[in-house]
C-alpha cells in the first residue's frame, strides 16, 4: 500500500493553505450575512437591538448620576410632552381656516310648511370635509373687432391677443400645471394621465402631446433654473450626490443608465442636472469656477475632478468635506462585530450633539462641536488605528476602517466650519421623490427628456425644501413667464419668491 510522505515543508504549506481557506470562508460568510441583512432586514439605518441596549445602559448610568430633584423635573417634563404628542389635533387644527365654506340649512318639514308658527331657539352644527374632483371646462376668449362709425379709412380695432405659455395650443396654464403636479409631485406617468383623462372625463390628450408641452415649459423655466443655479453657487456651500435613471436611446436596443446629479444648499434650494453618464466631467457646469464648501459621499468622481490639472484653481478654492452617514453605514454592515458596534455607538453620540444644536440655533455650531464632539472623534480614530492591522482588508470591517481613515480629514471638517452639516443626508432626501418617480415611469423617453425633468424637479423640490406650496408657486410663475424678461428671472426663484411674498404680507 502506497503512502504519501509529508515533509515539514509540505506540512507548513498545508497549514498556510488551510489558514487561507478559513479566511476566505469567513469573508464569504460575512458577505452572505450582509446580503441577508440587506434583503430581509430593516431598510432604515436605525441601531440594532444590541446597540440600543448599549445606549439604554449608558442612559441608565447617566440617570443615576443626576440629582433626584432634576430627575423628577425631567420626567415630569417628558410626561407632559408625551401627553401632548398623544393628543389628537382638533378639526380646526388639521384643516386650514381659509378653506371656502358651503353652508347647508336643513329645517323640519313642519317649519317649512308653517314658518309663522315657529321660532328658532338654537342650532346644531355638523362639519364635514368635502372635495370636488378635477373638473375640465372650456375657456373661450373673445376679442371683439370694432370700426369707427364716421371714418371708414381707419383700420378696424381689436385688442391684442394675450401672450400664451404655449403658442398655438389649446393648453391653458391650469391644464399644464395639473399635468406637471401629477407627474413630478404625484409621480403619475404621462401614459397613466392619458388613461385617466379619457376614462374619467372623456378628454383625449395623447402622452406625446403632453410630453411636448413639458419640453416647452421646461424651456421657459430654464430662465429661473439658471437663476437658481447662481443662487446655489453663490451660497458657498454645496451638497452633491447623483442617482441613476434609465433612458431610451434610439441607437441602442436597451435602456442605458443616465444620471441626475443633485446639488443642494440648505435654505436656498436644490438643482438637478441630467447627464447620460457618471463621468467626472459632468461636474464642469456646476463646479467650474466655484469657490466654497463641497460635501459629497465617497464617490471617486469628485476627487478625480478636483485632481485634474485643468481644475487646479477650483481645487485651491474648494474645501471638500465627506459624509459621516456613509461612513457609519460601512460599520453598520459589519454583522455581529463588537468593535464595529462600539464605533457605531460613538457615531451615534456625534449625531446626538447635532440634534442638540438643531434645538438651540443660537449656539455657535463650530465652538459647540469642538467642545463636545472632538473627544468622540479622537476615540473613533484611536479604535480604527488599533483595529486596522488586525482586520483583513477585504473584510467588511477592514473596508469600513479603510474607507473612514482615507477620508478622516474630510470627515472632521465639520468641526471647523459651522455651515457644514455632519452628513450629506439633506441632498439624499431631495433625491428620494425622483426615485419614487422612476419606479413608476421606469425610464426617460429620450436623452433630451432627462433635462426637461431635471429643470422641473429642481423647482418642485426646492419648493418642498422651503415649505412652499408648489401649486401656488408654479401657477404664478407659469402665468408670468410669457411676459417675463431674462433680467426678471432672478426674482422668481422659490427663495426670492417666498421672501417677496413675506415682505408684501408685512
- Residue 437 within any structural domain of the chain: yes
The C-alpha atoms of residue 330 and residue 349 are separated, in whole angstroms, by 17
Query: What phi, psi does 271 have (nearest 5°)?
Result: -130, 130
Contact 295, 424 (CB under 8 A): yes
Q: Assess whether pLDDT exceeds 90 at residue 230.
A: yes
At 422-443, the pLDDT tens digits run 999 999 888 887 777 777 777 7
Closest C-alpha to 133, from 55, 215, 225, 201: 201
- Residue 6 within any structural domain of the chain: no
pTM (2 decimals)? 0.77
- Residue 304 within any structural domain of the chain: yes
pLDDT classification of 263: cutoffs 50, 70, 90: very high
The C-alpha atoms of residue 350 and residue 352 are separated, in whole angstroms, by 5
At 81-95, the pLDDT tens digits run 544 455 666 666 777
Q: Check residue 148 and report its DSSP letter.
A: -
Q: What pLDDT, on a 0 to 100 scale, did the predictor assign at position 398?
A: 87
How far, rounded to the nearest angstrom, does the alpha carbon of residue 114 sit from its chain's CA centroid? 63
Q: What pLDDT, on a 0 to 100 scale, did the predictor assign at position 439?
A: 74
- Residue 118 within any structural domain of the chain: no
- Residue 179 within any structural domain of the chain: no
Looking from the CA of 491 toward its CB, the CA atoms found within 13 Å total: 10
pLDDT classification of 469: cutoffs 50, 70, 90: very high
As beta bridge partners, residue 245 has 258
At 296-313, the pLDDT tens digits run 998 888 999 998 888 888
- Residue 495 within any structural domain of the chain: no
Share of the chain above pLDDT 90, in %: 36
| Residue 242 lies in domain | 233-471
**Identity of the highest mean pLDDT range in 16-25, 82-91, 268-277:** 268-277
The C-alpha atoms of residue 84 and residue 77 are separated, in whole angstroms, by 11
pLDDT, the chain, mean: 83
The C-alpha atoms of residue 495 and residue 57 are separated, in whole angstroms, by 45
Contact 260, 243 (CB under 8 A): yes
The C-alpha atoms of residue 363 and residue 112 are separated, in whole angstroms, by 67
At 372-430, the pLDDT tens digits run 999 999 999 999 999 888 888 888 888 889 999 999 999 999 999 999 999 999 998 88
Closest C-alpha to 59, from 475, 349, 285: 349
Count of structural domains within the chain: 1
Tell me which H or E stretch contains 269. Answer: strand 269-275
Contact 430, 389 (CB under 8 A): no
- Residue 266 within any structural domain of the chain: yes
Closest C-alpha to 459, from 241, 218, 247, 239: 218
pLDDT classification of 237: cutoffs 50, 70, 90: very high
- Residue 89 within any structural domain of the chain: no
CA dist 287 → 113, 341, 377, 423, 431 (Å): 78, 37, 30, 20, 19
Q: What pLDDT, on a 0 to 100 scale, did the predictor assign at position 28?
A: 67
Looking from the CA of 465 toward its CB, the CA atoms found within 13 Å total: 27
pLDDT classification of 53: cutoffs 50, 70, 90: very low
Contact 262, 270 (CB under 8 A): yes
Q: Who contacts 323 (Cβ-Cβ below 8 Å, separation ≥6)?
A: 295, 296, 297, 298, 411, 423, 424, 425
Tell me which H or E stretch contains 279. Answer: none
Amino acid at each position: 500500500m502506497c503512502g504519501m510522505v509529508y515533509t515539514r515543508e509540505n506540512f507548513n504549506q498545508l497549514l498556510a493553505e488551510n489558514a487561507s481557506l478559513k479566511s476566505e470562508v469567513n469573508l464569504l460568510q460575512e458577505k452572505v450575512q450582509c446580503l441577508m441583512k440587506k434583503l430581509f432586514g430593516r431598510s432604515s439605518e436605525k441601531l440594532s437591538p444590541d446597540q440600543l441596549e448599549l445606549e439604554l445602559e449608558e442612559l441608565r448610568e447617566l440617570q443615576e448620576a443626576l440629582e433626584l430633584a432634576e430627575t423628577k423635573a425631567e420626567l415630569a417634563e417628558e410626561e407632559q410632552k408625551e401627553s401632548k404628542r398623544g393628543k389628537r389635533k382638533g378639526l380646526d387644527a388639521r384643516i386650514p381656516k381659509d378653506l371656502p365654506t358651503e353652508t347647508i340649512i336643513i329645517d323640519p318639514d313642519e317649519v317649512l310648511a308653517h314658518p309663522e308658527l315657529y321660532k328658532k331657539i338654537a342650532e346644531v352644527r355638523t362639519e364635514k370635509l368635502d372635495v370636488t374632483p378635477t373638473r375640465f371646462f372650456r375657456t373661450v376668449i373673445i376679442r371683439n373687432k370694432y370700426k369707427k362709425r364716421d371714418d371708414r379709412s381707419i383700420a378696424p380695432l381689436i385688442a391684442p391677443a394675450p401672450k400664451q405659455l404655449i403658442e398655438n395650443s389649446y393648453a391653458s396654464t391650469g391644464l399644464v400645471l395639473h399635468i406637471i403636479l401629477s407627474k413630478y409631485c404625484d409621480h403619475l406617468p404621462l401614459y397613466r394621465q392619458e388613461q385617466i383623462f379619457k376614462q374619467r372625463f372623456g378628454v383625449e390628450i395623447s402622452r406625446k402631446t403632453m410630453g411636448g408641452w413639458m419640453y416647452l415649459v421646461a424651456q421657459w423655466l430654464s430662465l429661473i433654473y439658471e437663476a437658481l443655479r447662481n443662487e446655489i453657487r453663490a451660497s458657498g456651500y454645496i451638497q452633491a450626490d447623483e442617482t441613476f435613471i434609465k433612458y431610451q436611446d434610439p441607437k441602442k436596443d436597451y435602456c442605458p443608465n443616465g444620471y441626475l446629479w443633485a446639488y443642494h444648499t440648505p435654505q436656498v434650494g436644490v438643482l438637478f442636472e441630467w447627464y447620460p453618464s457618471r463621468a467626472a466631467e459632468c461636474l464642469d457646469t456646476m463646479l467650474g469656477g466655484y469657490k466654497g464648501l463641497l460635501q459629497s459621499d465617497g464617490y471617486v468622481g469628485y476627487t478625480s475632478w478636483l485632481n485634474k490639472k485643468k481644475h487646479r484653481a477650483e481645487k485651491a478654492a474648494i474645501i471638500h468635506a465627506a459624509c459621516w452617514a456613509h461612513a457609519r453605514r460601512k460599520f453598520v454592515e459589519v454583522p455581529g462585530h463588537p468593535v464595529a458596534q462600539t464605533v457605531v455607538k460613538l457615531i451615534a453620540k456625534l449625531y446626538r450633539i447635532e440634534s442638540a444644536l438643531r434645538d438651540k440655533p443660537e449656539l455657535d455650531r463650530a465652538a459647540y462641536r469642538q467642545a463636545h464632539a472632538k473627544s468622540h472623534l479622537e476615540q473613533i480614530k484611536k479604535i480604527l488605528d488599533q483595529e486596522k492591522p488586525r482586520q483583513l482588508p477585504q473584510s467588511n470591517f477592514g473596508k469600513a476602517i479603510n474607507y473612514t481613515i482615507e477620508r478622516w480629514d474630510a470627515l472632521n471638517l465639520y468641526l471647523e466650519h459651522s455651515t457644514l452639516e455632519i452628513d450629506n443626508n439633506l441632498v439624499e432626501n431631495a433625491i428620494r421623490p425622483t426615485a419614487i418617480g422612476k419606479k413608476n415611469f421606469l425610464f426617460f423617453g429620450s436623452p433630451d427628456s432627462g433635462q426637461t425633468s431635471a429643470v422641473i424637479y429642481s423647482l418642485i423640490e426646492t419648493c418642498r425644501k422651503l415649505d412652499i406650496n408648489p401649486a401656488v408657486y408654479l401657477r404664478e410663475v407659469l402665468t408670468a413667464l410669457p411676459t417675463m424678461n431674462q433680467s426678471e428671472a432672478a426674482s422668481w426663484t422659490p427663495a426670492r419668491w417666498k421672501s417677496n411674498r413675506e415682505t408684501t404680507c408685512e
